[in-house]
A and B are shown apart, each in its own frame.
Chain A
Amino acid sequence: MEENTLSSQPAAPGAIRTEEMLVNMGPQHPSTHGVLRLMLRTDGELVLETIPHIGYLHRCAEKIGENVTPVQFVPICDRLDYLAGMNNDHGYSLAVEKLCGLEVPERGHYIRVIMCELNRIASHLVSFGCYGMDIGAFTPFLYAFREREYILDLFEATCGARLTYNYLTIGGASLDLPEGFVDRLAWFLDYFEPKIDEYNNLLSYNYIFVKRTANVGVISVADAIAYGLTGPCLRGSGVKWDLRRCAPYEIYDRFEFDIPVGMPGGSNGIPPEVVVGDSWSRYYVRMLEMKQSVRILRQCLQQMPAGEFRAKVPRTLKLPAGEVYLEVEGVRGQLGFLVVGENKPIPRRVKIRGPSFCNLSIVPHVCRQVLLADVPAIVGSIDVVMGEVDR
């Protein structure tokens, strides 16, 4: 705790003097999702200003990227947004493939989409559960983790890992899907889809929950775009923008799915207190996105062909001179990779655009003149993963 008193001087006569305090929220704090540190300037329960301090989880991912080959770097990608390792691997692989001009076989595409969407569900489940905890509802957290466990079981059966997969790699996937995967996945989708409605009834429409999150931390469209917000945070503000649709990559143009956006309250079963762009909208977009992911997964299972799952990738892949910047729609927003090659097996530069990094940058703008209890509600609804912010 740093000592306080920004204004220890007696105020001018007649002026009202209030007691301001600097409070350190994090890096060890239950609701900062890892090691985020927020300096709050508070006046009683009122937070006047929020200053995020990041970097506690900086692991030099970009420096490592300049020193290892792309295939070696894929495991590091897993550790960026450690809740959505598949999506990170996918983004990096796509960037390298684009730079080298590699073609991924058909089945590889489908495996990638399946894994990415499954991981999106898993990650949104964590986000849903943790957000409930931020608001003070403990129980949904365990329900979310129960469902996530099924997905992790699937991942484990596929690649042997439950968190850092190193599965989607340059040229496709490193292994084929295991036997019985399709049936298990189909079972899981049937099991899981009705649960989303259950959780909506349990938490999303809960009166207290709505009161806590609706009209809290409202981000306007202009702000969202200006601060470079992407993913559910951007869509929560009512912008129907999703790279899977707006700049299609992989094979997402083959699937039918909707892009949920934040809607004003009062219609479609949305509580009347809700304002577009508030914490509730961001949270609810994630709930709806899980449904869309289930839809995509079902279509994948129908369309998936047999065949090769990985392109022939030379043992030492030389990255041609030139650079490529590629963004994919990660779980938390647009995950971008800038890869600069120079005719060597290792790239000159790997720049990672972590969506959480940009999403977090709006926190000082939003967490002003809010109550202390709103800070976890806002930061939780932005859903940052510090591994990706600090890289």
Chain B
Amino acid sequence: MSGEAIAFYMLAVLAAGSALGCVIATNIVRMALCLLGTLGAVALLYFLMAANFLGVIQLIVYAGGTLILIVFGIMVTSRMYGEKLKPRRSEALIGALVVLALFAGLVAILWRGPWVTVVPTEQPNSVAAIGQALLGTYLVPFELASVLLLAVMIGAAYLAQPAARNGRGTEREE
């Protein structure tokens, strides 16, 4: 077994375990912690696939930004000893069955499907390549994404301020 295989299996177990933890956990902060496990493991998998830049972006944007935002949202909206929002039994059962069936189907297809693969090659300077692709081939989506981010920034700021409708000072909140 090669080093890559060992690393893959360890990370895959971590990622899958954390994802299952997300499913099982009833405490929402624990779910977020499990999500951190998945995100970190997936980021390391990206490293394993020589997508260093993506792995780092996954860590900085996902784990360092989005996840913190989520935990922040949890803190604002949930209390430790507040009501426990457990899924309804029937829903959980049906959901589990459907999802299991879906997973089984997916695995079956993946297992059977003949995948034409290429031998992975190392990109000599993937960061530069990604940069060039972003500002070359993918310039339009890149710019669109930036416009979207701007819109989101304004929209989120508007949504989050109560004073727009309430007349109370907001600059002291956050």
Contacts and interface: CB of A to CB of B under 8 A. Distances in A.
**Complex: A in contact with B (CB within 8 Å):** yes
Interface of A: 16, 18-19, 43-46, 371
Contacts of A16: 162, 165-166
Contacts of A18: 162
Contacts of A45: 172-173
B138 to A, nearest CB: 41
Dominant SS among interface residues on chain B: loop
A311 B166 CA distance: 70
Contact of A46 (B76, B165, B166, B173): B173
A46 to B, nearest CB: 5
A45 B172 CA distance: 7
Interface residues of B, number: 7
Given A16-B162, A16-B165, A16-B166, 11 more contacts: A18-B162, A19-B76, A43-B173, A44-B172, A44-B173, A44-B174, A45-B172, A45-B173, A46-B172, A46-B173, A371-B172
B56 to A, nearest CB: 33
Dominant SS among interface residues on chain A: loop
Nearest to A19: B76
Interface string B131-157: 000000000000000000000000000
A371 B171 CA distance: 11
Interface in B30-46: none
Nearest to A371: B172
B151 to A, nearest CB: 24
A43 B174 CA distance: 10
A332 B138 CA distance: 70
A19 B79 CA distance: 11
B81 to A, nearest CB: 8
A308 B94 CA distance: 99
A44 B174 CA distance: 8
B119 to A, nearest CB: 56
A46 B174 CA distance: 10
B34 to A, nearest CB: 26
A46 B169 CA distance: 10
9 contacts: A16-B162, A16-B165, A16-B166, A18-B162, A43-B173, A44-B174, A45-B172, A45-B173, A371-B172
Interface string B18-53: 000000000000000000000000000000000000
A371 B165 CA distance: 22
A319 B174 CA distance: 63
Nearest to B162: A16
